[in-house]
Structure formats: C-alpha cells, structure tokens
C-alpha cells in the first residue's frame, strides 16, 4: 500500500517521526482555509510555518507539497495524485486534528506516530506543577534536588 506523510503545525521539522520513518514518501502540509478564516491569524505565524516547511522540504528528495484549501479535500487529492491509500502522521493534540482524521478515515487509512515526550507519565494527569516536577526531576536533572516554585510558567 502506498503511503504519504502529512505534516501539521505541531511538527514541521525534518525530525518529525512520520517523515523520518518514510524518507521516500511524498509529504504535504495544508493551510486549512476554513479553519484560518474562522480563527484570525497574523501573517507572522503563517510565514513562520512556510519558512520552516521550505527548509524541511528542501532537504528531502521525495515529492513535497504545500497546499491551501479545504484540508480533507486537499489531502484526498494529494493521496490520489500519488496513488496512496495510507496517510502517516504524527499525532497532534489540537482539537481540529481529531475532526480531520475522523473525516479522512472514511476513505483512507491514517497511521499515527507518537510525538517524542520529555517525561514518562502514566495515570491521571497531575493536579499541580509540583506533582509533575517531583516525578520528573530525577529523570531530567539527575544531580538536582526538588523544590521548584509554582510561581513560574512556560
């Protein structure tokens, strides 16, 4: 079964797990017009994405495309163009992603890759930052002691 790679805003670099897994597969990024019209976005972010894609795609020998339009329709058209039935994508936590993949799965197979994580965490989500910090610091700063303040934020 032929495959393509679908890039999303969360993972635009050549280190994207799906891109790395399939170096020979055509890859695409799509600016979704419906989403962008519904949510005002400055040129700065769209251009940051574009600049990033230009660099990522320049380093790839397989065909790569940037498109704009209805995401699902453009994605299906891209797959048809390359005779692909399988979309490989790094899972995104964004709410729009769930809707897009649901629709794409009506006609195509979507294979998801896990994004890289910094800290292993299982069970219920932490209630406070300190709870995460206490579990994470031995993995992240092995010589350090806990005691992170809660007054800081990313």
Partner 1 sequence: MIIPHEPKEREALRQHAAEALKGLYQGEAVASPWVGGRQAGLRRLEALDIDRYNREHNGAHQEATSGLSPYIRHGLITLREARDSVVSRFGAAASRNFVIQLLWRVYWYLRARQRGVASLVDAAAGATEIPVPQVASSPLCIDEALRCLRATGFLAYHPRLWVASYFLHWLGIPWRQGYRLFQEHLIDADPIVNALSWRWVLGEETGRPYFFTRAQVERCTGGQLCARCTIYRCPFEGTPEAVEERARQPRRLFR
Query: What residues line the site for partner 1 (CB under 8 A)?
Result: 9-16, 31, 33, 36-58, 64-69, 74, 90, 93-96, 115-119, 121, 124-126, 128-129, 132-133, 136, 140-144, 148, 150, 152-154
Are residues 146 and 134 in contact, defined by beta-carbon separation less than 8 angstroms?
yes
- Shortest Å distance, C-beta 87 to partner 1: 17
Q: How far apart are CA 21 and CA 88, in angstroms?
A: 9
Instruction: State which residue, 106 or 147, has the beta carbon closest to partner 1.
Output: 147
- Shortest Å distance, C-beta 1 to partner 1: 24
- How is 81-126 classified by DSSP, letter by letter? HTT--EEEEE----HHHHHHHHHHTTTSEEEEEPPP-SS---SSPP
CA torsion through residues 118, 124, 130, 134, sign: negative
φ and ψ of 96, to 5 deg: -65, -35
Instruction: State which residue, 1 or 139, has the beta carbon closest to partner 1.
Output: 139
Instruction: State which residue, 1 or 122, has the beta carbon closest to partner 1.
Output: 122
- Shortest Å distance, C-beta 109 to partner 1: 23
Which of 108, 116, 67 lies closest to 88, judged by CA?
Answer: 108
Q: Are strands 27-32 and 109-113 parallel, antiparallel or unpaired?
A: unpaired
- Shortest Å distance, C-beta 49 to partner 1: 7
- Shortest Å distance, C-beta 99 to partner 1: 9
Instruction: State which residue, 61 or 93, has the beta carbon closest to partner 1.
Output: 93
Query: Which residues face 65 on adjacent strands?
Result: 28
Instruction: State which residue, 33 or 85, has the beta carbon closest to partner 1.
Output: 33
């Amino acid at each position: 079964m032929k495959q393509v790679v679908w890039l999303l805003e969360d993972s635009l670099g050549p280190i994207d797990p799906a891109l790395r897994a399939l170096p020979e597969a055509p890859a695409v990024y799509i600016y979704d017009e419906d989403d962008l019209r519904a949510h005002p976005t400055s040129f700065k972010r769209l251009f940051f994405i574009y600049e990033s894609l230009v660099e990522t795609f320049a380093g790839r020998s397989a065909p790569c495309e940037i498109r704009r339009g209805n995401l699902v329709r453009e994605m299906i058209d891209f797959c048809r163009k390359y005779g692909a039935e399988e979309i490989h994508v790094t899972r995104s936590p964004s709410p729009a992603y769930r809707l897009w993949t649901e629709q794409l799965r009506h006609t195509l197979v979507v294979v998801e890759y896990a994004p890289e994580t910094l800290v292993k965490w299982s069970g219920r989500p932490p209630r406070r930052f300190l709870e995460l910090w206490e579990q994470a610091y031995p993995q992240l700063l092995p010589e350090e002691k806990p005691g992170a303040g809660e007054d800081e934020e990313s």
